[in-house]
Amino acid sequence: MRFSDFGKKLTSHSGILQLMDDIGRPLPDGIKTYPLGGGNPARVPETEALYRREMERILADCEEFEDIISHYDAPQGRGRFIHAVASFFRSRYGWDITDENIAITNGSQSAMFYLLNLFSGKTGGSEQTILFPLMPEYIGYADQGIEDGTFRSVAARCEYFPDRTFKYTLDKEAVAAYLDQREEVGAIAVSRPTNPSGNVLTDDEINFLASLAKRHSIPLIVDNAYGLPFPHIIFTENAEPIWNEDIVLSMSLSKIGLPSIRTGIVIARKEIATALSNLNAIAALASCTMGQVLSENLIASGELVDAAERSVRPFYQEKARKAESWIRRYFEGTEYFFHRIEGSIFTWLYLPSLSIPTLRFYSILMEHGVVTVPGEYFFFGSDEKPYPHEHYDKCLRLNYSGPDDLTEEGIRIISELYRKYS
C-alpha cells in the first residue's frame, strides 16, 4: 500500500498529534499526572447549568430530541442557529451581516483547516501562501497545509518588562514589507487571543493587519476561539471584536463548555461562507447539530454572552492570577520570564538558562508526570532551521485551567527541574 503525498503529509508526526495523544493517553501506573498540556478547557458550573437546562427542555418535548438526532443539517449549518447568530451579531455590534455570511463547521479546528487550504496551495502556475504575522502561533495550524511550504511567518517582536513579563508585538514594518514583496500571499492569519502565548493583539494591531489585507485584496483570518463576545477569555482592554468584509472571523463553542460537541462558527463575506459550506459538504456532509441546538436560545437571548462575561472570564482570570503567583513563587531565584497573561487558557514560560531544548525538557517533565507542550512546535513558517527567534527552544506552554493543586505542583516540579537543567 502507498499513501499519497497528502496522506504522508497529514499522517506524519505532528505537534498537534502529540498534544492530543498526551491528553488522551494515561501515563504508566504509579506516576501521578499534572495535566498542564493540551487545550482542554475547565468545567464552569454556570455554563454547564445553561446547557443542562436546554437539554432538559429538549428531552421534555415528545418530538424535539428525536427530530434533532435523526436529520442531517444543511452543509452550511442549522438554519435556525445561523439566523440566531447573524441576528445577534447584527444587533449587538451593528455588523452588516445576514445568514449568508455564516458557516458552521465541526469545530474551529476544521474551520481553520478549510480556510487555510482555501487560500493556500497551487493556483494555476503559482503557489499561494498564508502569512502568519506574529510567530509563535497555534501548534494546531502548523501541519494543516495540504501542500508543503505554503505557510510563511514573521517572527514576533518582544518587549520585556521589569516584572519578569514580556509581550509579543507585531513587527509592522516587516509584515508590511513582506506583503509588498510577496504577491503570492493568499491570506493573513492570526489567533486572538494567541495560543500559545496568551497575547492579545491590540485593536491598533488588528486594524493595521485589516488595512494591509484590504490593500492587498486578501482576507485577514482571525481565530477568535478564546475571544469576544464568547467565551470572553480576555483580560485586557483594547480588544474589541472586529468584523468587516476583509475579515474572516472564526469562533468556537469549545472553550465555553462544549469541546466534545464540535461546533465552529465562521463569519465571513458571502462568497467565503458559501465556499466553506461547499467544502463542508464534501469533507463532512454536515456539521454536528447538538451544539447548535444547545446554544441557539442562549445566543438569541444573550444569556451565553452574559455567562461569558459574568462567569467564564472571571473564572479564568482567577486561574491566571494563581498560576502567575505560583510561577513567581517557585521560579524565584532563577532566570525566568513569562508572557503577560492577557487571554486564552495558557501561560507561556521563557526559560533562557535551560541547557537542553524544550523538546527534551518536555520528555523529562513527562517522566515526572508533568504534561506540558514544548515551544518548538509553535514556531513554523520559515526555511531557516532552527526558527530564527530567541525563544524557539526555550519556551513551554502551560495550560492553567486544570485543578489548582495539580497546576501548582506541576509548576513547582518544572521549577525544580529547571534549576537542575540550567
Ligand X SMILES: Cc1ncc(COP(=O)(O)O)c(C=O)c1O
Handedness of CA 35, 41, 44, 48 (dihedral sign): negative
- By CB under 6 A, tell whether 287 contacts ligand X: no
User: Considering beta carbons, is residue 218 or 251 the nearer one to ligand X?
Assistant: 251
- By CB under 6 A, tell whether 107 contacts ligand X: yes
3-state secondary structure 164-193: CEEEEECCHHHHHHHHHHCCCEEEEEEECC
CA–CA separation, 365 and 390 (whole Å) = 22
Count of residues for the chain? 422
Report the b/e string of 30-41 with b at 16+ CB within 10 A.
Answer: eeebbbbbbbeb
- The kind and range of the H/E element at 210 are helix 203-215
Using the contact rule CB under 6 A, the part of the chain among 44-52, 92-100, 105-113, 376-384 near ligand X is: 105-113
- By CB under 6 A, tell whether 254 contacts ligand X: yes
Q: How far is the CB of 342 from ligand X (least distance, A)?
A: 14
CA dihedral (365, 369, 372, 373) in degrees, to 10, reads 70
- By CB under 6 A, tell whether 39 contacts ligand X: yes
- By CB under 6 A, tell whether 252 contacts ligand X: yes
Using the contact rule CB under 6 A, the part of the chain among 28-36, 107-115, 123-131, 377-385 near ligand X is: 107-115
Q: How far is the CB of 30 from ligand X (least distance, A)?
A: 30
CB 107 within 8 A of CB 253: no
Select from 33, 259, 300, 359 the one that contacts ligand X (CB under 6 A): 259
- By CB under 6 A, tell whether 199 contacts ligand X: no
User: Considering beta carbons, is residue 188 or 354 the nearer one to ligand X?
Assistant: 188
Please list, in sequence order, all residues whose beta carbon lies within 8 angstroms of the beta carbon of residue 420, skipping any fewer than 6 positions away: none
Select from 138, 377, 380, 400 the one that contacts ligand X (CB under 6 A): 138
User: Considering beta carbons, is residue 226 or 418 the nearer one to ligand X?
Assistant: 226
> Which position's Cβ is nearest ligand X?
107
CA–CA separation, 407 and 34 (whole Å) = 7
User: Considering beta carbons, is residue 156 or 176 the nearer one to ligand X?
Assistant: 156
Q: How far is CA 134 from the centre of its chain?
A: 14
Q: How far is the CB of 275 from ligand X (least distance, A)?
A: 19
User: Considering beta carbons, is residue 25 or 385 the nearer one to ligand X?
Assistant: 25
Select from 76, 108, 128, 197 the one that contacts ligand X (CB under 6 A): 108
Q: How far is the CB of 141 from ligand X (least distance, A)?
A: 8
- By CB under 6 A, tell whether 399 contacts ligand X: no
Q: How far is CA 333 from the centre of its chain?
A: 33
CA–CA separation, 132 and 144 (whole Å) = 13
Handedness of CA 394, 155, 379, 253 (dihedral sign): positive
Which whole-number Å values give the CA distances from 152 to 133, 134, 409, in the listed order?
8, 10, 38
Q: Interface residues for ligand X in 139-178 (CB under 6 A)?
A: 140
User: Considering beta carbons, is residue 97 or 116 the nearer one to ligand X?
Assistant: 116
- Among 144, 111, 357, CA closest to 254: 111
Site string for ligand X, 60-89 (x = CB under 6 A): ------------------------------
CB 306 within 8 A of CB 49: no
Using the contact rule CB under 6 A, the part of the chain among 42-50, 106-114, 232-240, 281-289 near ligand X is: 106-114
Q: How far is the CB of 83 from ligand X (least distance, A)?
A: 21
CA–CA separation, 109 and 250 (whole Å) = 9
Q: How far is the CB of 113 from ligand X (least distance, A)?
A: 9
Q: How many CB atoms lie within 10 A of CB 59?
A: 10
User: Considering beta carbons, is residue 107 or 402 the nearer one to ligand X?
Assistant: 107
Using the contact rule CB under 6 A, the part of the chain among 55-63, 101-109, 303-311, 313-321 near ligand X is: 101-109
- Among 418, 414, 398, CA closest to 355: 418
Nine cell digits for residue 275: 465556499
Select from 103, 213, 225, 307 the one that contacts ligand X (CB under 6 A): 225
Q: Interface residues for ligand X in 335-354 (CB under 6 A)?
A: none
- By CB under 6 A, tell whether 223 contacts ligand X: yes
Q: What is the DSSP letter of 107?
A: S
Query: Contact positions toward ligand X, by CB under 6 A?
Result: 39, 107-109, 138, 140, 191, 195, 223, 225, 252, 254, 259, 264
